[in-house]
Amino acid sequence: MNAERTAAERTAAERTAAETASPTRGRPDTADLVAVVLGLTAFAALLALGRGLTFFADEWAVIAERGTTLDSFLVPFNEHWLGLTIIAYRLLFDLVGFGSYLPYLALLAALHVLVAGEVYVLVRRTSGPLVALGATAIVLFFGSGFENLFWGMQIGFVGAIALGLAALLVLEGEPTRGRVVVGVGLVTAGLMTSGFGLFMLALVTLDLLLDGRRRRLAVAMLIPAGVYATWYLAFGRNGVAAIQDPFTIDALIRTPAFVFEGLAVASGSVLGVGPVAGHLVVLGLVVMAIVQVLRGQPVPARTLACVGAVVAEYAVVGLVRSQLGSDAAGYTRYAYLSGILLIIGLAAWIGVPRLPDDRRLRLAAVSTAVVVLTLSLTWNTVLLIEGRSLFGERADRTRAAITVALEELPPGLDPDRAKLLDRTVTRLREVLAEHGAPLTDSLASDAVPPVDPVLVAKVRAQLASTWSASR
């Protein structure tokens, strides 16, 4: 009787867990409301942290050299197809100009919160509301990817991820023909937004191929792949060749180590143990997967698809950026995507948690979950603050460079050849004359410190040194 009662109780518990994980039962519910509150809190926090920042690096190239033209849409930016990103960024710049950097960060933060919301929906469908809330909290405050949270130009990277995850959601279950068309459109748009769109294409394709019910739909992904291949042959290969030939023996040899390094960074970021311990985590997960398969328990298709997309990400980046060495695998712009995909994949592997009947085991399981969540949030919050500090320093240096550009150059320096912010001084002056100088912020004037004269002197000295070396 006791055995029968225990079996009945377990069956009831599993049924309850499955109903809890159902996306249609009693929605919106408390978990949904908590997710919304977390999203709004993260949005406000990111804007508060972003006060006082300003335009950086690639943003100056878009402002000075790109417009809302077909040429700007098609010509690669470095090696990326940033067509939609450049159009969106230029439209925003034409609307608000240099007045404040906060609108750019607001768009970026909104896209980031959208990504976190998509993660919440995806994880809730595979693992229930509690795991979904934990995953969403980590993503929302994912300081391991801080470049994509404080640099307005990264609307391209984050936007491509949002489009790819939207396609993943649209194509779940048994999608209709209309949903397949929408999914294809979303993936194609992602490819036109940034190079990250390639990895989202890999994710969606693998997710379809590894699911027997939807495998036939994978052929639809040939459409966005064909669109990108056409663009690459016509325009993109020139952008890649301008940096380096990625298909060299040296690059191929370095790529496996780069991939392993990237997986370690992603694992350490998600679990809050850092990239060094992340190497052990990767090896441990591989062993667990092998043991599970040997026991006749396959790893979920969604998990394999996410890991496959992460491997594709670091393999491509490793080939294109091999000259930077394995340290480039730790760049936060890449960790943002790999970490998020790993969160989705691990959640699918965990499934809906079922607590053990034994009280001590139950306590141990809950304690472990709390420790992992605490470590992850602590690690990523610290990196979030450190990342903001780094971008604050970059903002100070940008304003110092603008100050030097606006003053009279030392005798002998040719403004048509001397460069500041990767533009000739003449071109930079033209941009500033047309749009104004972002030395203040109309929406956060109290967060912008006076231009540091020491930094101005350093920029002036560096300009003179660079000029002398180039002659």
Each residue's pLDDT tens digit, 349-359: 999 988 888 88
Asked whether residue 96 is domain-assigned, the answer is yes
- Predicted local confidence at residue 11, as pLDDT: 39
Task: Tell me: do 185 and 300 sit in the same domain.
Answer: yes
Over residues 395-407, the pLDDT tens digits come to 999 999 999 999 9
Name the domain boundary from 358, 375, 394.
394
276 in the same domain as 263: yes
Which amino acid type is present at position 150? F
In angstroms, the CA 151 to CA 332 distance is 12
Residue 36 within any structural domain of the chain: yes
Residue range 58-81: mean pLDDT, rounded:
90
Q: What pLDDT is attached to residue 373? A: 94
Q: Of 107-116, 210-219, 244-253, 394-403, where does mean pLDDT reach its minimum?
A: 244-253
Residue 191 CA to residue 202 CA, distance in Å, equals 11
Identify whether residues 259 and 403 lie together within a single domain: no
Burial class (CB in 10 A: 0-12, 13-18, 19+), 277: middle
**Lowest pLDDT segment from 19-28, 149-158, 219-228, 393-402:** 19-28
Residue 69 counted as domain residue:
yes
Spell out the alpha helix ranges (H) of 219-331: 222-231, 237-243, 249-271, 274-294, 301-320
Query: Looking at residue 239, what is its pLDDT?
Result: 60
Whether residue 198 is found in the same domain as residue 316: yes
Do 342 and 449 share a domain, yes or no? Answer: no
Q: What is the number of domains present in the chain? A: 2
Q: Are residues 303 and 165 in the same domain?
A: yes
- Residues 340-385 have pLDDT tens digits of 999 999 999 999 988 888 888 888 888 989 999 999 999 999 999 9
Say whether both 231 and 360 belong to one domain: yes
Angle between helical axes of 102-140 and 332-350 (0-180°, round to 10): 30
Q: What pLDDT is recorded for position 83? A: 94
User: Same domain, yes or no, for 358 and 466?
Assistant: no
For residue 28, whether the previous peptide bond is cis, meaning omega lies within 30 degrees of 0, is yes
* Residue % of the chain over a pLDDT of 70: 90
CA distance 365 to 378: 20
- Is 59 a domain residue? yes
Q: What tens digit of pLDDT does each residue of 37-50 get?
A: 999 999 999 999 99
- pLDDT range class, residue 330, cuts 50, 70, 90: confident
Q: Which amino acid is at 366?
A: V
Classify residue 206: in a domain, yes or no. yes
Going by C-beta distance under 8 Å and a sequence separation of 6 or more, which residues neighbour residue 137? Answer: 38, 373, 377
The pLDDT score that the predictor gives to residue 328 is 79
The winner for highest mean pLDDT among 20-29, 136-145, 250-259 is: 136-145
Residue 246 has a pLDDT of 61
- Given a contact cutoff of 8 angstroms between Cβ atoms, the answer to whether 282 and 264 are in contact is yes
Residue 303 has pLDDT above 70, yes or no: yes
Kindly state whether residues 389 and 400 are assigned to the same domain: no
Domain extent at residue 124: 22-394
Q: Is residue 17 part of a domain?
A: no
Domain contains 16: no
Last residue of a domain, one of 394, 425, 444: 394
User: What φ, ψ does residue 419 adopt, rounded to 5°?
Assistant: -120, 145
**Residue 325 confidence (pLDDT):** 61
Task: Give the pLDDT score at 107.
Answer: 97
Distance CA 339, CA 334 (A): 8
Assess whether pLDDT exceeds 70 at residue 2.
no
Dihedral sign, Cα of residue 315, residue 319, residue 325, residue 329: negative
Q: Look at residue 413 in the predicted model and tell me its pLDDT.
A: 86
Give the residue from 376, 394, 412 where a domain finishes: 394
77-81, 257-261, 432-436: the lowest-pLDDT one: 77-81
Q: Is the pLDDT reported for residue 327 higher than 80?
A: no
With a cut of 50, say whether residue 470 has pLDDT above it: yes
- Judge whether residue 12 has pLDDT over 80: no
Q: Among candidates 150, 82, 61, which has minimal Cα distance to 332?
A: 150
Judgement on whether residues 384 and 400 belong to the same structural domain of the protein: no
Helices (H) and strands (E) in the chain — how many of each?
A: 19, 2
Cα 260 to Cα 148: distance, rounded to the nearest angstrom: 22
Are 409 and 281 part of one and the same domain? no
What tokens does 78 get?
Answer: 């470095």
With respect to residue 413, please indicate whether it lies within any of the assigned structural domains. yes
- pLDDT value of position 466: 77
Q: Return the amino acid letter for 370.
A: V
| DSSP per position, 190-209 | HHTT-THHHHHHHHHHHHHH
Distance CA 21, CA 28 (A): 13
Helix or strand run (H / E) with residue 167: helix 155-170
Residue 244 has pLDDT above 50, yes or no: yes
Whether residues 338 and 408 share a domain: the answer is: no
